[in-house]
Structure 1
Amino acid sequence: MNLRRFGIYCGIVAPVLWLSLIAVAGAMRPEFSHVNQYISELGERGSATEILMRYIGFEFSGFLYLCFAAALPANLRAGWRSALLAVFIGLDGLGRIGAGVFACDPGCDGLSSSQALHRLFATTGFSAAILAAIACGVLLRTHAWLGSLSGYSIGSGILATIFLLLMTWDSNPILASGLSEHLATGALSLWLLVFAARLLRAP
């Protein structure tokens, strides 16, 4: 297997691994609520799922994102457009790794420096992922074999943005911040999976 193809497989494995670990870690903690609690709380300091989520969920999946980003320009061959897309996906990977290195405090509402850095890296990762999805849709809309994903890519980025806004909206009548975050990361993870799978089938 050459490095270009290996990078694509990383892009397929990363979102599947991430979503699977959220489900597994949540099942390991019956008290955890996917509706009311943040994903980061699965990797909070001292929790039963800290090692699983911090080192595999955040850091290893982030590394896979970096591998996918590194191989993207050679696979996509779209000049500066593929380079820009690779930068956004790479920033998403770095955000994930940083969020794993700096775990959140219990409940993710502490005031420690680790909590602050975790929030910074997580925000960076989410923002970069949204930009990657939207940029893919806008920049590659005329691409020979990726143009068909344009609407889906833009829609995924916009949908994730809406969910994240609902998550941070203090007056949200639904009061399901955890669910909003889960839906946002689900939309972006599914987009990356579809994108990488399309690259795998490309001529």
Structure 2
Amino acid sequence: MAAPIRFERAPPMSRPQESTVLAANHGATSALLVGGALAGPLFTAAWIAGGALTPDYQPMRHLVSTLALGSFDWMQVASFFVAGLLVLGLAIGLRRALRPPGSAWGSLLIGLAGIGLVGAGAFASDPANGFPVGTPVVPTESTTNGMLHNLFAAAFLFSLPVSAFVFTRYFRRVGERGWAIASALTGVAFFAAFSLQRFDSDPAARFGLYQRIGITTSLLWLTAVAVYALRARRQG
């Protein structure tokens, strides 16, 4: 008979080894939070620059996604991927950093928003609201790429304000009343921006504006939460 196989337990790590591992984990989490704090400003800077450089593009009217159909398409596509990956990393960083443990659903929703951004970059939008020039204001047909883009874009757009509502409960639980109010107001502001279109006499002329108000509000909140988690991490 063959001799039985014996499994030997690995020796415990020494204190210096444990300190090295903890420091590495701490550094990795901080890097994820810093990246998440930069996601919103980078994404915003990309659509501002792309909108200014793209001929015939009207930020007040046209959607952010349609910049990927213009002459500086690479800039918008790159911002989708970069910001999406940074937001995904932030979701992981928040889950690690917040004490007591942060909202699992809140972090999950932020991760879903990151996936939405990456997917929106992978699949190009259909022409919309008259851009590129010469296309109808109301699209007459949809492509598979366009439908997939809209699906991922919706995941990004709606996951962040819902996450803000979820984090409202977390901040109340840890006694951060100001942060709880700010998170709740973020969610309300996002949905209010899109609801205002119903009362606009010419919503198509300002659809890009309403979209940008909603996106910017959510991304400002996301950046603020990343900074909050970084400070909590350092104090802890």
TM-score normalised by structure 1 residue count: 0.90
Name the residue aligned to 1:173: 201
Secondary structure of the residue aligned to 1:107 is: coil
TM-score by length of 2: 0.78
**Corresponding residue to 2:185 among 130, 148, 155:** 155
Q: Tell whether 2:168 aligns with 1:137.
A: yes
* Count of matched residue positions in the alignment of Structure 1 and Structure 2: 196
Unaligned runs of 5+ in 2: 1-23, 130-138
Of residues 59-68 and 104-113 in structure 1, the stretch that sits farther from structure 2 once superposed is 104-113
Once residues 166 and 118 of structure 1 are traced to their aligned partners in structure 2, the CA distance between those partners, rounded to angstroms, is 24
2:161 partner SS? helix
Q: Residue 188 of structure 2: SS of its match in structure 1?
A: helix
* Partner in structure 2 of residue 51 of structure 1: 74
TM-superposed deviation, 1:174: 4.6
Q: Distance in 1 between matches of 2:68 and 2:194?
A: 20
Q: 1:187 aligns to what?
A: 217
The counterpart of 2:110, out of the listed 89, 106, 114, is: 89
The separation in 2 between residues aligned to 1:31 and 1:158, in whole angstroms, is 32
Give runs of ≥4 in structure 1 deviating > 4 Å. Answer: none
Q: CA-to-partner distance for each residue in 1:173-192, whole Å, 9 max, x for gaps?
A: 25211100000001001111
Amino acid at match of 2:108: V
Say yes or no: does 1:65 pair with 2:87: yes
- Could you list the per-position Cα deviations for residues 135-193 of structure 1 after superposition, in whole angstroms to 9, with x for gaps in the alignment? 1112321315x4431101110111001112335x4x63252111000000010011111
Given that 2:103 and 2:166 are in contact with CA atoms closer than 8 Å, whether structure 1 keeps it comes out as no
Structure 2 residue 66 is the aligned partner of structure 1 residue 41: yes
Q: Gaps spanning 5+ residues in structure 1: where?
A: none
Aligned pair 1:118/2:149, yes or no?
A: yes
Written as runs of structure 1 = structure 2, the 5 A alignment for 1:92-103 is 92-103=113-124
Which structure's CA Rg is the greater one?
Answer: 2
Cα displacement string for residues 29-54 of structure 1 (whole angstroms, at most 9, x for unaligned residues): 1421111111111112xx21211111
CA contact (8 A) 2:94 2:226 kept: no
Q: For the Cα contact (< 8 Å) 1:138–1:154, is it kept in 2?
A: no
Indicate the RMSD between aligned Cα atoms, in angstroms: 1.7
- CA distance in 2 between counterparts of 1:133 and 1:62 reads 18
Aligned-residue sequence identity (percent) comes to: 25
CA distance in 2, matches of 1:32, 1:197: 33
